[in-house]
Amino acid sequence: MIYTKSASQALKERSTVISPGTGHQHWGTVFFGPRSSTTAAPGPQATMSELQAHETVTPHFHGVSMFQLFIAGSGTIGNRGQEIKPLCIQYKDHHTAYGPLVAGAQGLAFVALRMYTGNSAPVYLDKPGYRDKLLPSKRRNLFVDPVHFSIEPVMKSRSETVCETLLEADDGLKAQIVRLGAGMSMPGPDPSVAGGYYVFVGNGSLVHGAEDLPVWSMVVVQNTEDQFNILAGENGLEALVLQFPKEDI
């Protein structure tokens, strides 16, 4: 299947949530699936978290592999205080710990993208029994330097397709940025070669059917699809194409 979600529609359902790790209140938005799950269910799972200024998320892991995009605000991650800012890309294999995640003075917004709904509930390293929940994994925790987007006139007037590879591995894992001028299109990756992929609108808009999907919107292309065509809106498009590795799930 192909799933789409307009950010403007998703953000209408933004709500306050309580972090299960710290008890802090911040904001959460669901794009696909439940916000957190412990059992398998059909379809992808994608959520957005918006942290309070200086809020800390303690080290933890999830049972489902994910891309995480830091899309607004700023902060640091890890014991060495690695800087994060828009738009940083992180990929984490399932059962791979990361953190702490500390928001900056203006807060921090990020989206977590998973190809399927599974045991995604966070397991915190400061809670007893976390080792009992660890399962074998490649334990990759990969970062990409911040992606920069074009100003609108440059994006709109682009006459040639640009596709830049940001991250790649031999099991199908891949992250790219696609830059298209107004009304331009290009075929997306072959969904069947790996675990499917997300198309995340970073700048401009993406047209799918009758929808014009604005910034922060998402399309999910499962690996059972034949093909997906990436079509830019009237001002062009800069999108992240985030391909998941093949996994036995």
Residue 248 lies in a domain: no
Mean pLDDT of 168-174: 96
Handedness of CA 104, 64, 11, 26 (dihedral sign): negative
66 and 160 fall within a common domain = no
Backbone φ and ψ for 99, nearest 5 degrees, come out as 115, 180
* Ramachandran quadrant class, 216 (left: phi over 0; alpha: psi -120 to 50; beta: rest): left
The predicted-structure confidence for 99-158, as pLDDT tens digits, reads as follows 999 999 999 999 999 999 999 999 999 989 999 999 999 999 999 989 999 999 999 999
Mean pLDDT of 55-78: 96
Helix/strand/coil for 12: helix
* CATH number for 180: 2.60.120.10
**pTM score of the predicted model:** 0.96
Asked if residue 81 lies in contact with residue 138, where contact means CB atoms within 8 angstroms, the answer is: no
- Domain end call among 144, 165, 186: 144
78 and 31 fall within a common domain = yes
Helix/strand/coil for 1: coil
Mean pLDDT of 211-229: 96
Tell me how many domains the chain contains. Answer: 2
Mean pLDDT of 187-202: 96
Helix/strand/coil for 114: strand
- Domain end call among 96, 111, 144: 144
Helix/strand/coil for 167: strand
The per-residue pLDDT for 248 is: 62
Mean pLDDT of 207-223: 97
Domain ranges, residue 88: 2-144
Asked if residue 67 lies in contact with residue 127, where contact means CB atoms within 8 angstroms, the answer is: no
Nearest of 198, 235, 157 to residue 43 by alpha carbon: 198
Mean pLDDT of 233-241: 98
Q: Copy the structure tokens of residue 65.
A: 């592999």
> Strand pairing partners for 142?
91
- Cβ atoms < 10 Å from Cβ of 135: 9
> What is residue 192's DSSP assignment?
G
Backbone φ and ψ for 157, nearest 5 degrees, come out as -90, 0
102 and 162 fall within a common domain = no
33 and 123 fall within a common domain = yes
The per-residue pLDDT for 249 is: 56
Mean pLDDT of 222-231: 95
Q: Copy the structure tokens of residue 31.
A: 């794009």
The per-residue pLDDT for 16 is: 96
87 and 201 fall within a common domain = no
Angle at 133 between CA 101 and CA 128, to 5 degrees: 70
Q: Count Cβ neighbours within 10 Å for each residue of 206-218 and write b for 16 or more, e otherwise.
A: bbbeebebbbbbb
